[in-house]
Structure 1
Amino acid sequence: MRLDPSIIAAFAPSGTLRVAINLGNPILARIGDDPARPSGISVDIATELARRLSVPIGLVVMDAAAKSVEAVENGHADVGFFAVDPVRAAEIAFTEPYLLIEGCYLVDRASTVTTNEQVDSPHNRVAVGAGSAYDLFLTRELKHAQIVRARTSPAVVETFLTQRLEVAAGVRQQLEADARRYDDLRVLVEPFMVIRQAAGIARVRGPAASRHLDLFIDELKTSGRIDALIARHGIAGVSVAPAKAHGGSTC
């Protein structure tokens, strides 16, 4: 099916689909064999979207989610892949989530903190990635603990160790990978949140574009494409978000 030219123009007004890729979440994207081109689930989804729009793709690579959000909001990128959050939703229209990721806490092995409820205490300082989904969430939820913001999500554990903080918060896979590098750290079993990863486009691009993006993501879920990408990239500990019934087509 031939797309309405207005849809293509809404997604790629420059003639190229510029996609914000966040390297701060290794589940979604990372530097592969070619340092000039990242690989990962979000890169593959973006490539497929550009193919269906029949436009070339340009990757706008960022080291933090907050920078990716800003790039889409200010028009420096056309589409991005982020965790759904009401603060971000003011300017960005999100699709239904395509991936569910656990946000967890990490502590020193000798810490007396064993449950999520014990974290929100006045004597606890919690390291988070500045502007990350769990930063936004914990800023709303924590009433007593102090939040200490690291520059990027991958720098959270380094900040936790350097500043001798009591708790670090982040994506389970990232924290578990960091914990394996040290003998005296542990990740709490229960997640404190489920991070809903979605695609997003600036609201100013119009409702037709955001609906098209939502249909596209849902089709990838229902066709098994997201499952295949998880397997292809060897990502463990994540799940595909439930599909949402839609009418229409994204071909």
Structure 2
Amino acid sequence: MVPRVRVRVGQRVPVVVQSRGRRRTGARLLWVGAETVVTCGLVVLLLVVHQLWWTNQQARAEALQQVRVLEREWDISPSPVPVPVPVSIPVPTSGSAGAGAGAGAGASADVGSPSVPPVAPSPPPGPAPRPAASAAFAVLRIPRLGLTVPVAHGVSKRSVLDKGYVGHYPGTASPGRTGNFALAGHRNTHGEPFRYINRLAKGDEISVRTRERTYVYRVDQVLRQTAPRDVGVVRAVPRSIVSPSYGYDTPGAYLTLTTCTPEFSSAYRLVVWAKLVA
């Protein structure tokens, strides 16, 4: 049986009214929050894809194009331009052939003898203009890693490293010269040319081609980890000031490769040293 509710005359009966508006507002806020979270997740995902994939594709394409441009330019050998030589053409005089033949040097001095005016020799070429900062000037190859990458002046991120190039530390030696030819490159993103230099071992060959010739270095030491402040690794006679057991004591022609370590971090530096062999 259904219980009956007795209501006295004049007694007010309370009525509960549910607020639909509040429910709708709460559901709408929840929906907006979910959309915001999903949108932020997509943005973060796109940034990760851009940083880890797109920058690599773009930088590698630009770097390989620069390698082709350099090597095409170096392979073109301009033909030497002949320098005109002054020529004196004597004109026979009214005398006999014998007289003309016996005149010797005086015959070419006749007023009526036309001659080609002398041409002033070209001045010797001056010193080659110094390459602009960030200009690529060499090609680095590491066969063990299948790496081919241009080398540019400076270690600026925007104008050198982020373009997929390897940067030449200012003030260090030129390729093939006595001293330390020190280079830096990204390990992750923007072409990541030095991502796998940790795989290099003693005896691996590294070549550096310039306009003049190709230099060959052989890996000699690998410093797996050192501090970013360890400037000793790029000195003329490289030696770590953090781990003094790594490095050299005598002058020579060295090649130094530096990059960040561990991967996706810039906490430390990884260093590879090689010596010139050819």
Instruction: Report the structure number with the largest CA radius of gyration.
Output: 2
Q: Is the shorter-chain TM-score for this pair beyond 0.5, marking a shared fold?
A: no
TM-score range, shorter chain: under 0.3
Structure with the largest fraction of helix: 1
What's the TM-score once normalised by structure 2's chain length?
0.21
Larger relative contact order (CA 8 Å, sep ≥ 6): 1
Structure with the largest fraction of strand: 1
What's the TM-score once normalised by structure 1's chain length?
0.23
